[in-house]
Chain A
Amino acid sequence: QKEVEQNSGPLSVPEGAIASLNCTYSDRVSQSFFWYRQYSGKSPELIMSIYSNGDKEDGRFTAQLNKASQYVSLLIRDSQPSDSATYLCAVHAGGTSYGKLTFGQGTILTVHP
Chain B
Amino acid sequence: GAGVSQSPRYKVAKRGQDVALRCDPISGHVSLFWYQQALGQGPEFLTYFQNEAQLDKSGLPSDRFFAERPEGSVSTLKIQRTQQEDSAVYLCASSLGTANEQFFGPGTRLTVL
Do A and B assemble together?
A: yes
Residues of chain A with a CB closer than 8 A to B44's CB: 103
Q: Which of A12-20, A40-48, A61-69, A75-83 contacts B (4 or more CB under 8 A)?
A: A40-48
Question: Does A54 belong to the interface (CB within 8 Å)?
Answer: no
Against B, the Cβ 8 Å flags (1 = close, 0 = not) of A78-106 are 00000000001010101001111111111
Residues of chain A with a CB closer than 8 A to B33's CB: 99-101
Question: Does B91 belong to the interface (CB within 8 Å)?
Answer: yes
Tell me, rounded to whole Å, the shortest Cβ–Cβ distance linking B76 to chain A.
18
Given B42, B59, B102, which contacts A99 in the complex, CB threshold below 8 Å? B102
Bound-state Cα–Cα, A4 to B45, Å? 13
- Whether B104 pairs with A92 at a CB distance below 8 angstroms is no
CB nearest neighbor in B for A32: B99
- Whether B95 pairs with A99 at a CB distance below 8 angstroms is yes
Tell me, rounded to whole Å, the shortest Cβ–Cβ distance linking B16 to chain A.
28
CB nearest neighbor in B for A98: B98
Question: Does A31 belong to the interface (CB within 8 Å)?
Answer: yes
Q: Which of B48-56, B62-70, B80-88 contacts A (4 or more CB under 8 A)?
A: B48-56
- Whether B91 pairs with A101 at a CB distance below 8 angstroms is no
- Whether B107 pairs with A92 at a CB distance below 8 angstroms is no
Bound-state Cα–Cα, A100 to B95, Å? 11
Which residues does B use to contact A, with CB under 8 Å? 31, 33, 35, 40-45, 48, 50, 55-56, 59, 89, 91, 95, 97-107
Which residues does A use to contact B, with CB under 8 Å? 4, 31-32, 34, 36, 42-46, 49, 88, 90, 92, 94, 97-106
